[in-house]
């Protein structure tokens, strides 16, 4: 029953995140674009009601994610967020009142079938409750170094595919680490109460990494086409989460002959995500009112033809 709840909460969180991504992207394309890291970007976005709506959806997703992580393994919950991309395309198509073509539905089917096949074959299990600091330390250092390197590489490049891909990958690592820290904090809340939750370093850790992920995501959405940022974000989150689940929480996936089914499922997911990433979920995004703003031209240019 707990695994069923974990799946349901994770799917709810993926849907809320998809709505949040669509709304945040529409807002991000209405503010001036910059070559480097700009903390003031969040201040500008706070003036956009559509961005506030996106953040509300992200908060709802966070609540669903916390409940999912309290019910099931990290290696099961986070890969389900792959559903965010097809759900984002569906939501965006409703915003612009535009039907998704058959090729897009085929790609959606590939993602859903591939995800079911991969997770069914892997059957993630194991749910360590407490992770000692000697396990956290190398994971935190490795993630911090990787995020710093990817963010620097992305911001060093001009707007385009490479910039978006690097920032998307950095965001993915922050998302995965946020989930891992959130899982530990939720256990503290369940076992020792609210005071222990507030005094746990993991609570402030996931708040910090969550804010870093949000900032990197906004820069990734501005930095280039979705065909570059979305695969790095979607697949990177699932991959890093799987690794953190195994290394931190001693979660296990099936090996042996099941590896072939897992590989087939992964191939379907990758093919579906790459195909969906070529579709601009918002073909007519609002343009920036200030000079230097992005009008979404990069996305339109890189979107696959109908």
Position 295 confidence tier, pLDDT thresholds 50, 70, 90: very low
Residue percentage of the chain with pLDDT more than 70:
84
The whole-angstrom distance between residue 249's C-alpha and the CA centroid of its chain comes to: 20
- Which 8-state DSSP code applies to residue 291? T
pLDDT at 234: 84
- Using the 8-state DSSP alphabet, how is residue 252 labeled? B
For the chain, give the mean pLDDT: 82
CB atoms within 10 A of CB 44: 18
pTM of the entire predicted model: 0.77
The pairs formed by 190-195 with CB atoms below 8 angstroms and a separation of 24 or more are 190/70, 191/129
Question: What is the mean pLDDT of the segment spanning 269-275?
Answer: 89
- The CA R_g of the chain, rounded to the nearest whole Å, is 19
Segments of the chain assigned E as strands: none
Domain residue limits at 22? 2-302
| Contact (Cβ atoms closer than 8 angstroms) between residue 283 and residue 104 | no
Which residues are within 8 A (CB) of 281 and not within 5 positions of it... i.e. 6 or more apart? Answer: 22, 25, 88, 89, 91, 92, 93, 226
Give the chain's domain count: 1
Residue 220 CA to chain centroid, in angstroms?
12
Backbone φ and ψ of 252, nearest 5°: -125, 145
Arithmetic mean of pLDDT, 191-200:
89
Both structure tokens of 167: 């920032």
> Which of 163, 170, 172, 151 lies closest to 33 in space, CA to CA?
163
The whole-number average pLDDT for the span 282-306 is 39
């Amino acid at each position: 029953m707990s695994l069923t709840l974990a799946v349901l909460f994770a799917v709810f969180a993926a849907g809320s995140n998809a709505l949040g991504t669509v709304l945040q992207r529409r807002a991000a394309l209405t503010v001036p674009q910059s070559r480097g890291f700009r903390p003031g970007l969040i201040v500008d976005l706070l003036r956009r009601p559509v961005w506030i709506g996106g953040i509300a959806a992200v908060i709802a997703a966070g609540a669903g994610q916390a409940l999912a992580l309290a019910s099931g393994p990290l290696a099961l919950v986070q890969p389900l967020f792959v559903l965010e991309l097809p759900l984002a395309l569906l939501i965006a198509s409703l915003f612009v009142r535009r039907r998704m073509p058959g090729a897009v539905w085929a790609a959606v089917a590939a993602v859903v079938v591939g995800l079911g096949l991969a997770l069914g074959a892997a059957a993630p299990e194991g749910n360590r409750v407490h992770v000692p600091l000697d396990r956290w330390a190398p994971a935190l250092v490795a993630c911090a170094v990787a995020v710093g390197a990817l963010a620097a590489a992305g911001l060093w490049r001009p707007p385009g595919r490479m910039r978006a891909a690097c920032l998307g990958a950095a965001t993915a690592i922050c998302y995965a680490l946020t989930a891992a820290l959130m899982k530990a904090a939720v256990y503290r809340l369940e076992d020792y109460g609210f005071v222990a939750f507030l005094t746990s370093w993991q609570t402030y850790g996931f708040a910090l990494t969550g804010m870093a992920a949000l900032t990197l995501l906004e820069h990734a959405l501005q930095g280039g086409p979705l065909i570059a940022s979305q695969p790095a974000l979607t697949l990177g989150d699932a991959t890093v989460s799987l690794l953190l689940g195994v290394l931190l929480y001693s979660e296990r996936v099936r090996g042996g002959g099941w590896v072939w089914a897992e590989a087939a499922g992964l191939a379907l997911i990758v093919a579906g995500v790459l195909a969906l990433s070529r579709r601009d979920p918002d073909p007519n995004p609002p343009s920036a009112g200030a000079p230097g703003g992005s009008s979404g031209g990069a996305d339109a240019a890189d979107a696959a033809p109908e």
